[in-house]
Amino acid sequence: MVTDLGEVFRLGTEKAGENLAFRRFLANHHYPSGPFQIIAQEVQSHVDCTACANCCRHGEVAVSGEDIAAMARHLGTTVEEVERLYLVGVAGAPAQHELRTTEAGCLFLDGTLCLIYEARPKACREFPHVATGSHTLGSRPASHDRWAAMCPIVYNAIEAYKRVTGFHARAAAQTGDG
């Protein structure tokens, strides 16, 4: 299993075209997302996300009203203060908010640890969204492409699923699956 972030980035970037071919292969052969989700959960059980935090450095986090209220309680402040200090509006959707970011990533990221971990938004709690039976990242292969170079869980799960499905990049390219 590859967990070194530099190596995950290098390999994930290097395999971007292959991963696109794999996504097409899965669609053409009607592979279900369930086996991928099971593999990803197994990989996730061996990865310490608090040693990585790439999702916190590179992701955009939508927050719900419930998330904002939980953050306010955790921080001992008001919903209005949380909205003013820690959130930005989503362009074209004035009622929607995202966590504010800095050049280093999420405003609440301290090294690789979340300063509001107990009250982090649902999107953060559920990342990388591979829970069995959910219709999140595990069932949206296009999202795999985005995170394969940044998340050790996604990278390793994709590589394992390629083996399970019998995917071979060269063969897929020759048969038109890639």
Lowest mean pLDDT among 53-57, 106-110, 133-137: 133-137
pLDDT in tens, 2-56: 999 999 999 999 999 999 999 889 889 888 888 888 999 999 999 999 899 999 9
Q: Tell me what the mean pLDDT of segment 111-135 comes to.
A: 85
Average pLDDT for the chain: 87
pLDDT value of position 139: 45
pLDDT value of position 90: 76
In the chain, what percentage of residues exceed pLDDT 90?
Answer: 63
pLDDT in tens, 146-163: 899 999 999 999 999 999
Residues 6+ apart with CB under 8 A from 146: none
In the chain, what percentage of residues exceed pLDDT 70?
Answer: 86
CA dist 125 and 118 (Å) reads: 9
**pTM of the predicted model as reported, rounded to 2 decimal places:** 0.84
CA dist 116 and 97 (Å) reads: 17
What is the DSSP track for 89-112? EETTEEEEEEE-EETTEETTEETT
CA dist 95 and 89 (Å) reads: 7
